[in-house]
Amino acid sequence: MLDAPIDSLESELSPQNAHAAMVEALLAGEGFKRVAAITEACAGAPVRILLPRPGSDGSSGSSAERYVAQLVAGADPHRPEEVTELVPIISHGEVQGAVLMFGRGRENAAEYLQVAAVAALTGIAVLNAREEAAGGGERGLLAELLSGREVRPSEVARRARLRGCDLSDGLTALCVDPGDASPGLLIATIAAERPEALAELCGERIYVLLPAQMEEARRLSDLLGERATSALSSRYRQAADARYALDEAEMLLTLVKAGGRATTDRPTWDSLRLLYRTFIADPEELARFSEQTVGELVSHDVRYGSELQATFWAYQESNCNMNVAAKATFTHRHTIANRLARIEELTGLDPNRAYDRELLSLGLKAHLVVTLARGGKLPG
């Protein structure tokens, strides 16, 4: 939020900072009037942002409102004399409205009007996101894919393209738990940062398809992780795999939340992504591997509540330091040693040996993937 009064900022905000202030105001729910006020202070003359409702001809409004309504309708009307400068607001090649200045502004006033027009796209995304959030998004493409409904690959690609999301060169998926954040504002943030993304609120979570490389998708995930909890799938090559990408992101979000993290930002999450892809290719083989390596360990935990898996992960996370692992699990180091010995008895793999520890880690991760991918729940 802007702490200083608008009129004291007119000589302080660069175009870049002005844009940041406008977007912050929109995401905070202050609307287009606040954006117009910031623009007015920077431009040095009265400013209005006009976005006519679809089908409106502006006949009941001012000459400026009628003028913008005609522009949106595709006409080329005569500009009213009181409008000294105008920048159209264009989304997907169509005029949605305009930023208008009335009177003589500063020499660089037009530059700030351009900034306001760009920021207005975020405002439009906020409004659309609120409508979608209010409607629950249940009729969307992503909701259909998540429900298990069979959607032809060509239909997935076509419907995504109609919403500005081109999946022809591959895709990644995001799953976001808004927590205390507004789902509508998060969807608006996604639209502002990645206009080509397809985002829907399904139930209590936001699902996103991104026609982007992993690095770009990670940046968005990290940004959302500042406000909510998010998980990013691996990259899939074709639209036909959209359902798998969404399921993978959903599974990873469950693990992110269980681990008390905000995002899948660590490279180690790539092993879980790889294991999920292995599960898709051959679910029985991954289940067999998991059972052979850690089946007895998992069964022991279920029967006796022995917390052997939690102990192993704490030991692994602490770089094999028993004192640190004991502190993390609220136990004594001798308890950690006894549990590690029990793991070796059950699996034949010694957690103190690097190779065995690697197999244990892989087997337990495979168990998590198989359990969650089959609709199971994490213990505890």
> Is residue 47 situated within a structural domain?
yes
In a domain, 267, yes or no: no
Residue 185 lies in a domain: yes
Whether 329 has a pLDDT exceeding 90, the answer reads yes
* Residues 6+ away with beta carbon under 8 Å from 278: 285, 286
Confidence of residue 264 (pLDDT cuts 50, 70, 90): confident
CATH number assigned to the domain comprising residue 234: 3.30.70.270
Q: Are 4 and 99 contacting, i.e. CB atoms less than 8 angstroms apart? A: no
CATH number at residue 125: 3.30.450
Q: Do 178 and 239 sit in the same domain of this protein?
A: yes
Question: Is the per-residue pLDDT at 93 higher than 90?
Answer: no
Q: Is residue 246 part of a domain?
A: yes
The pLDDT of residue 303 is 93
**Radius of gyration, alpha carbons of the chain:** 27
157 and 244, same domain (yes or no): yes
174's tokens: 């995001």
* Residue among 364, 378, 369 nearest 312 (CA): 364
As to burial, measured by CB atoms within 10 angstroms (0-12 exposed, 13-18 middle, 19+ buried), residue 126 is buried
pLDDT at 38: 94
Domain count for the chain: 3
Return all residues near 11 (Cβ < 8 A) that are at least 6 apart. none
| pLDDT tens-digit readout, 342-359 | 999 999 999 999 999 999
In a domain, 272, yes or no: no
| Same domain assignment for residues 59 and 89 | yes
Higher pLDDT, 370 or 7: 370
Same domain, 128 and 19: yes
Residues with Cβ within 8 Å of 343's Cβ and at least 6 positions away in sequence, in order, are 297, 308, 311, 312, 349, 351, 360
For the full predicted model, state whether its pTM sits above 0.75: no
Q: Who wins on pLDDT, 42 or 135?
A: 42
The encoded tokens of residue 263 equal 């995002």
Residue 335 lies in a domain: yes
Structure tokens at 139: 């009729």
Do 162 and 247 fall into the same domain? yes
Q: Write the CATH number for 300.
A: 1.10.10.2840
Assigned domain for 117 exists: yes
Single out the residue in 134, 168, 193 at which a domain terminates: 134
Q: What is the DSSP string of 257-286?
A: HHTT-S---STTHHHHHHHHHHHHH-HHHH
194-204: pLDDT as tens digits: 888 999 988 89
What is the percentage of the chain residues whose pLDDT exceeds 70? 91
The residue assigned the tokens 């702490």 is 3
Quote the domain boundaries for residue 291.
283-373
